Structure 1
Amino acid sequence: LNGASLHFFDVQQLGLNHLAAWLKEAEITVFFAVATMFRHFAMTLRGDEQFPNLRLILLGSETVYARDVQLYQKYFSGDCQLIVNLGGTEVSPIRQFKVDRHTQITTSNVPAGYAVEDHEILLLDEQGREVGVGEVGEIVVRSRYLAVGYWQQPELTAAVFSIDSQNSQKRLYKTGDLGRLLPDGCLLHLGRKDFQVKIRGYRVELSEIEMALCRLPGIKEAVVTTQVDALGEPILVAYIVPSESNLTLD
């Protein structure tokens, strides 16, 4: 027989400064967190902490950035692996990307990764046609194992769930996320369809700009959004959290 106990850490009550001690005291072996929580937790570490029982960190529910991998590689031992999951309430994890101390991330976002059993990914354009390798399309999941639908919301259910025309035993789920496949089958997650913006006719990836800002000295966090200027044209606006109290903007 195999088994494990499930432990919850109350961030609001205990604070991230106590998480490292709790991981050791509770002898946690698998740690799951959203990327934002992991990022801020890692920033509380000094570098001399030891987590002898921790063998796996699972990140999901939101975009994982290259800098999150760097934090993992800086503060956690080679005996601990990082896995990035892409999934949702409607589906179990549909892609996984495994990271160790030697993994190099060449994109601003960590790839969503490679296929998992019983879940197939389709990338479709606005006309519902499959796009080619390297092209951007909506991520659609084909599987037997999907949510039945949304409770008492038949219109929303019909909008995103459907029977697979090629196999009636499988169903399709439109995630509303955009992705691009690399030649080796790795999926890049490009964010929500409704978060895509165009500036002067060019599609802009807000997360790419946020990552570029965070690479600048003195910037700890950044969020980029759009506003409309006096002429009615969309413009990009960035909000930042400085890492230095004396940071000035020119």
Structure 2
Amino acid sequence: MKSLVIHEVFRAIARSRGDRIAVECRGRTLTYRELDARSDALSVDIRRNHIERGAHIAILTPRSIDAIVAMLAILKAGCAYVPIDGTYPEAVLRDAMMRSRAAAVMTGGEMTRLSRDRSPRPAPTSDGPETAAYVMFTSGTTGEPKGVVVPHRGVVRLVRDTNYIRIREEDTFLLHSPLTFDASTFEIWGALLNGATLVVYPEPAFDPNVLADTIRSREVTILWLTAGLFHALARRAVESLDGLTTLLAGGDVIHPDAVERIFARYPSITLINGYGPTENTTFTCCHRMTAGSPRGPSIPIGRPITGTSVHVWGPNREPVARGEVGELYTGGLGVALGYLDAPEATAAAFVPDPDHPSQMLYRTGDLVRELPDGALDFVGRSDSLVKVRGYRVSTTEVQQRIHRIDGVEGAVVRAEDDGSGSRSLIAYVQSARDPRSMKQHIKRALEAALPPYMVPNVIHVRATFPLNANGKVDARALAGANET
């Protein structure tokens, strides 16, 4: 049986492809043999510092070769890595360290053991596939950070022998995501567990010119983008993607017009819409597209990737008929071990699989419907259903309607208190056109297509949307952004 332990798979790759370039950053390179040796040496240092197996070790190093060495070393030492943004204010960093229960911290190539008291934790007896590989903090929809404990099996299942992408050792991945964002799991281990090359994006902030130069000069073939960056590049800087063979996007709804713009310039490229929460190790479903693929009015999230099961259930966890909307539950090798030190949140989100009681399903909170061909179509969040003027409205549905309007580059719809105790729909729209005329254009189009209670009371038009560090639209910053 193939190994489902990250560093065991990596070591086998290093032995067979030792002279190939594993990772590159700013002209510095490490071969697989060198990366294996350096991470071995660092893992010995971890053990010499009496760090217990099963302990959590924080990584404050930004995207770099040192960070990759640290991740591998931590795993080889039988521990789990916890990426933390080192640019946080000191008080926030201290809180993040406490939440992560870190026994030590890696900064660059140096490790510092933390001496504060911690509650005892059971140490694993082996480096099995159920062992925690990393803890990734995600706020989800509540705003309260939760540490998702991801096992080795989830990562290996994500990138090895899977059905949504073919990764060759000739491929080059770009590590563009922050290490604190779970897309980096696909980027890092997609390369290193398949003998491919990982190129580290050289700048802390996104720049389409730097992206284009990096793709071209380093011959990047596989790139992952958030939906926000995907839409922005497709509409305003599509030429920056020259050279790619496979482009993946996700994190939000992918819009058909952006897909068509990509195929118009790159008819031989493969596009993949990747859907999945951190709690199911980055991807749950993927929808693979080529220029000749049939496409409808929306881009599906597709089918479950290898090693993943999905269920579309109603309010009482009963299966719904094909075409009906239900909540998506997902199971299989990608399901996380739960939330760190949060038993109540874990019990609410991770439920027993009725078909396999010893296994767990993750309750995504996402509403989907199964299409006639078996692919899943994303409908919205279960918490996107709001009461407006006594009517039940899906803000996701209104967003999707706005996206179909000519001239719209992006849309976010929220229900906000109007000051009188009632809620009103507010639409934030990204468009390069004149804001005043665009507002009227959108209003007329929505009034012709939707019942009055679904038409937003207020429409704000902006030239660009603020993006957060992960490249997603920063919904909280929208209200404070200047209108143009």
Instruction: Name the TM-score class by shorter chain.
Output: 0.7 to 0.9
**More divergent stretch after superposition (27-36 vs 207-216):** 207-216
Q: Does 1:97 align with 2:309?
A: no
What is the CA deviation profile of residues 107-149 of structure 1, one whole-angstrom value per residue up to 9, with x for unaligned ones?
Answer: 34x1110232221111122222221111111111122441111
Sequence identity (%): 29
Contact 1:144/1:169, CA 8 A, preserved across alignment: no
What is the identity, as a one-letter code, of the residue corresponding to 2:373? D
Q: 2:363 aligns with which of 174, 181, 184?
A: 174
Name the counterpart of 2:352.
163
Compared CA separation, residues 19 and 44, structure 1 to 2 (3 A): farther
Counterpart selection for 1:51 from 236, 239, 242: 242
Residue 96 of structure 1 contacts residue 113 of structure 1 at CA under 8 Å; is this kept in 2? yes
Counterpart in the other structure of 2:273? 84
Opposite residue 102 of structure 1, the aligned amino acid is: G
Aligned to 2:229: 37
Partner deviation per Cα, 1:61-87 (whole Å, 9 max, x = no partner):
222222231232123231x10011122
Question: Could you say which structure has the higher strand fraction?
Answer: 1
Counterpart AA for 2:377: L
Tell me how many residue pairs correspond in the alignment: 246
8 Å contact from structure 1 (residues 178, 193) kept in 2: yes
Q: Are 1:154 and 2:322 matched, yes or no?
A: no
Structure 2 partner of 1:4: 196
1:218 CA displacement: 4.1
Cα gap change, 1:246 to 1:237, in 2 (>3 Å)? closer
Letter of the 1:16 counterpart: P
Q: 1:50 to 1:12 in 2, by over 3 A?
A: closer
Do the aligned partners of 1:19 and 1:41 also contact (CA within 8 Å) in 2? Answer: no
3-state SS, counterpart of residue 155 of structure 1: helix
Residue in 2 that maps onto 1:71: 261
Distance change in 2, residues 1:12/1:205 (3 Å): farther
Matches within 5 A, 1:1-250: 1=17, 2=169, 3-9=195-201, 13=205, 15-45=207-237, 51-52=242-243, 54-78=244-268, 80-92=269-281, 93-108=283-298, 110-199=299-388, 202-229=391-418, 232-245=421-434, 247-248=436-437, 249-250=439-440
For residues 183 and 225 of structure 1, do their structure 2 counterparts lie closer, same or farther at Cα, with a shift above 3 Å needed? same
- Per the TM alignment, residue 16 of structure 1 is displaced from its structure 2 partner at its CA by 1.9
SS of the aligned residue for 1:184 comes to coil
SS of the residue corresponding to residue 364 of structure 2 reads strand
Distance change (3 Å), C-alpha of 1:11 and 1:127 = farther
User: RMSD of aligned C-alpha atoms?
Assistant: 2.5
Going from structure 1 to structure 2, the CA distance change for 1:214 and 1:168 (only over 3 Å counts) comes to closer
Q: List gaps (5 residues or longer) in structure 1.
A: none
| CA deviation after TM superposition for structure 1 residue 88, in Å | 2.0
Q: In structure 2, do the counterparts of structure 1 residues 145 and 237 end up closer, same or farther at CA, with 3 Å as the change threshold?
A: closer
Counterpart residue type for residue 176 of structure 1: G
Question: In the alignment, is the contact (CA less than 8 A) between 2:285 and 2:304 conserved in 1?
Answer: yes
Secondary structure at the aligned position of 2:409 is classed as strand
- Report if aligned partners of 2:379, 2:397 keep a CA contact under 8 Å in 1: no
How far apart, CA to CA, are the structure 2 residues paired with 1:25 and 1:4? Answer: 16
Instruction: Give unpaired runs (5+ residues) of structure 2.
Output: 1-16, 18-168, 170-194, 441-484
TM-score, length of structure 1 as denominator length: 0.85
Deviation at 1:247, TM superposition (A): 4.4
Deviating 4+ runs (over 6 angstroms) = none
Alpha-carbon separation, structure 2, partners of 1:143 and 1:163: 12
Q: Which amino acid aligns with 2:340?
A: W
Please give the TM-score of this superposition, normalised by the length of structure 2. Answer: 0.47
Give me the whole-angstrom Cα distance separating, in 1, the residues matched to 2:234 and 2:212. 9
Distance verdict in 2 for CA 1:191–1:8, change over 3 Å: farther
Question: CA offsets, 1:9-65, max 9 Å, x none?
Answer: 366535123322221111001111111112212233365x7734x211111222222
Aligned residue for 1:37, secondary structure, equals helix
Q: Would the alpha carbon gap of residues 200 and 23 (structure 1) be closer, same or farther in structure 2, given more than 3 Å must change?
A: same
- 1:129 counterpart SS class: coil
3-state SS of 1:19 partner:
helix
If you compute each CA radius of gyration, which structure gives the higher value, 1 or 2?
2
Q: How far apart, in 2, do the equivalents of 1:113 and 1:201 lie?
A: 34
